Amino acid sequence: MSDLSRLPSLGAQFAVLSLLAVGGTNAVAPEMHRQMVEVSHWMSDRDFAQMFAVAQAAPGPNLIVASIVGWRVAGGWGALVATLAMCAPSSIGVYVAWGLWRKVQDRPWRAWVQAGIAPVVIGLIGASGFLLAKGADENGRAMVLTAASAALIWRTKLNPLWILSGAAILGAAGLV
């Protein structure tokens, strides 16, 4: 599986994805799929779908799909190169942007800029929640589970880990 000659191209592709990923990793999933499956022919459609599902089920940022896809393409080095390429360009960008944002912190316009941006941010999070639920909820019981989980995190201070553990037990018992 370790094909080190793929590393430069793998790194370059993920570095570009990093700079395209306004709104996060899942926003560039279609482009990642195009690169890995259709352009480079490094994995099949089914391979990619499976790797993506595992990344969703694993703990951690959505970015770890890059680690898994990189691993599938070129082993451990592939995982390392893809992960670093996926986060380095954007991290440097946000580091610089945050420095600039702090310099203007006492300007009066910052208050209304913040107020104008907040609903956009929250709307996007709600949208990603709906999209995730649409992909995950294959039947009515799964929808009830989604609603219960949303209500618990909204109305209580229950640790999300308990909610997920409960869901895992329901799943293992074949109730979802």
Partner 1 sequence: MSVPATAPPAAPTHAQLFLHFTWAGVRGFGGVFVMGRRMLVEETRWLTPEEFIEVLGLCQFMPGPNIVNVSVVVGSRYRGWTGALAALSGILLAPSVIAVGLAAAYQRFSAVPMVAHVMGALAPAASGLVLGSAIKMAMPVLARDRVLALPVGLGVLIAAGFLHWPLVPVLLVAAPVGLAIAWARRDSATELEAQ
Site for partner 1 in 81-120 (CB under 8 A): 83, 86-87, 89-91, 93-95, 97-99, 101-102, 105-106, 111-120
Residues in the chain: 176
Which residue, 39 or 162, is less far from partner 1 as judged by CB?
Answer: 162
Q: Is 13 in the site for partner 1 (CB under 8 A)?
A: no
Which residue, 38 or 125, is less far from partner 1 as judged by CB?
Answer: 125
Residue 11's nearest CA partner among 95, 91, 94, 73 is: 73
Q: Minimum CB separation from partner 1 for residue 28, in Å?
A: 9
Please classify residue 67 by burial: count the beta carbons closer than 10 Å to its beta carbon, then call 0-12 exposed, 13-18 middle and 19+ buried. buried
Binding region for partner 1 (CB under 8 A) out of 5-13, 38-46, 128-136: 128-136
Please classify residue 77 by burial: count the beta carbons closer than 10 Å to its beta carbon, then call 0-12 exposed, 13-18 middle and 19+ buried. middle
Which residue, 13 or 18, is less far from partner 1 as judged by CB?
Answer: 18
DSSP state of 27: G
End-to-end CA distance of the chain: 36
Q: Is 168 in the site for partner 1 (CB under 8 A)?
A: yes
Q: Minimum CB separation from partner 1 for residue 33, in Å?
A: 15
Amino acid (1-letter code) at residue 39: V
For tokens 């799964």, the residue is 142
CA distance 79 to 83: 6
Please name the residues in contact with 163: beta carbons below 8 A apart, sequence gap of 6 or more.
Answer: 149, 152, 153
Q: Is 37 in the site for partner 1 (CB under 8 A)?
A: no
Q: Minimum CB separation from partner 1 for residue 2, in Å?
A: 13
Binding region for partner 1 (CB under 8 A) out of 5-13, 32-40, 130-138: 130-138
Site for partner 1 in 138-157 (CB under 8 A): 138, 142-143, 145-154, 157
Site size toward partner 1, by CB under 8 A: 100
Sole binder of partner 1 in the list 63, 73, 74, 81 (CB under 8 A): 63
Amino acid (1-letter code) at residue 95: Y
